[in-house]
C-alpha cells in the first residue's frame, strides 16, 4: 500500500487535529492509500490468505449474506486484505495478522455514515461552521472523499477491534470510529478515524505522571 497525499484531506485533518472543546477533545484523521502491494504487504497478505483458507477449511456453515462471510468469499478476500493492510499502515507497530472478517461491518450507504457523523461530530461541525461558512464539515468531507475515491463507486466499511486488542488505545477515550472507503475500480482506500477524548481524564493522567516524576526525583536524592 502506498500513502497518497491529497490537499482536500489535509485541510480537514488540520481542523480535526486535537480540536479542543473544553471538557472534550475531538481528533480526526483521513489517510488515502493505493492498493499496490509493497514488500511488507505481500508477507502479511500471504499470512492472511492462509488464515482465511484455514478458517474455511474448518467451517462447515458459511452464509455469504453476512458481512463477515461476504469478505471471506473468493471475490471479496482482496477487499479484506486491503482493509487489514490499511490498518497496518495506519498503525505499523501493531500486529494485525489476527484480525478477523467479523470485525469489519459493511455500511449500506453514505446515509448511514452520515447519521453517525452528524450525531457524534455535532460540536465539531459547529466549530467548523464558525471558522468556515462556505460549507458544512460534512459537505467538505463528502467533497474531499468524492475527489479521492468517488463515493458513488465506494464500498464503506467500519472496523471494530476486540476490546482486549485495540490497536488505537487512547487515554480518556469516550468514543471512537474507524471507517474505510474502498473503490475497487480505482484500487484506492481512504481511512477515516475520529474519536472523542475526555480532557478531564487526560489532565488527571498528566498530573499523575508529574507526581510520579516528582516522587522519583525525591527518592533519587535520598541515600538508602
Instruction: Give the pLDDT confidence of 136-193 residue by residue, as tens digits.
Output: 999 999 999 999 999 999 999 999 887 666 777 777 889 999 999 999 999 999 999 9
Burial label, 37 (beta-carbon count in 10 A; 0-12, 13-18, 19+): middle
Q: Which residue has the higher pLDDT, 51 or 177?
A: 177
CB-based contacts of 176, cutoff 8 Å, min separation 6? 168, 170, 193, 194, 195, 196
pLDDT (average), residues 92-106: 80
Residue 157 confidence (pLDDT): 93
Tally DSSP H helices, then E strands, for the chain.
8, 7
CA-wise closest residue to 100 among 68, 75, 74, 77:
68
Confidence band of 202 (pLDDT split at 50, 70, 90): low
Three cell numbers, residue 48? 492472511
**Residue 98 confidence (pLDDT) above 70:** yes
**Domain CATH for 22:** 3.40.1000.50
Three cell numbers, residue 63? 452464509
Domain count, the chain: 1
**Residue 130 confidence (pLDDT) above 50:** yes
Domain assignment of residue 32, given as a range: 2-220
Q: Which residue has the higher pLDDT, 56 or 177?
A: 177
CA dist., res. 139 & res. 197, Å (int) = 24
**Residue 207 confidence (pLDDT) above 50:** no
CA-wise closest residue to 109 among 173, 156, 40:
156
Amino acid at each position: 500500500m502506498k500513502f497518497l497525499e491529497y490537499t482536500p484531506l489535509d485541510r480537514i485533518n488540520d481542523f480535526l487535529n486535537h480540536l479542543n472543546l473544553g471538557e472534550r477533545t475531538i481528533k480526526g484523521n483521513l489517510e488515502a492509500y493505493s492498493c499496490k502491494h509493497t514488500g511488507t504487504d505481500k508477507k502479511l497478505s500471504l499470512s492472511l490468505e492462509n488464515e482465511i483458507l484455514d478458517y474455511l477449511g474448518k467451517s462447515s456453515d458459511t452464509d455469504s449474506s453476512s458481512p463477515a462471510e461476504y469478505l471471506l468469499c473468493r471475490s471479496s478476500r482482496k477487499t479484506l486484505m486491503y482493509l487489514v493492510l490499511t490498518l497496518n499502515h495506519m498503525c505499523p507497530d501493531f500486529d494485525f495478522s489476527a484480525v478477523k472478517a467479523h470485525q469489519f461491518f459493511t455500511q449500506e450507504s453514505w446515509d448511514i455514515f452520515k447519521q453517525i457523523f452528524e450525531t457524534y461530530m455535532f460540536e465539531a461541525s459547529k466549530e467548523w461552521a464558525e471558522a468556515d461558512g462556505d460549507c458544512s464539515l460534512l459537505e467538505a468531507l463528502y467533497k474531499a472523499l468524492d475527489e479521492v475515491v468517488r463515493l458513488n463507486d465506494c464500498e464503506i466499511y467500519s472496523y471494530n477491534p476486540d476490546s482486549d486488542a485495540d490497536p488505537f488505545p487512547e487515554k480518556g477515550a469516550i468514543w471512537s470510529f474507524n471507517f474505510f472507503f474502498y473503490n475497487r475500480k480505482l484500487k484506492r482506500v481512504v481511512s477515516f478515524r475520529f474519536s472523542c477524548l475526555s480532557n478531564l481524564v487526560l489532565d488527571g493522567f498528566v498530573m499523575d505522571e508529574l507526581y510520579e516524576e516528582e516522587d522519583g526525583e525525591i527518592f533519587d536524592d535520598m541515600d538508602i
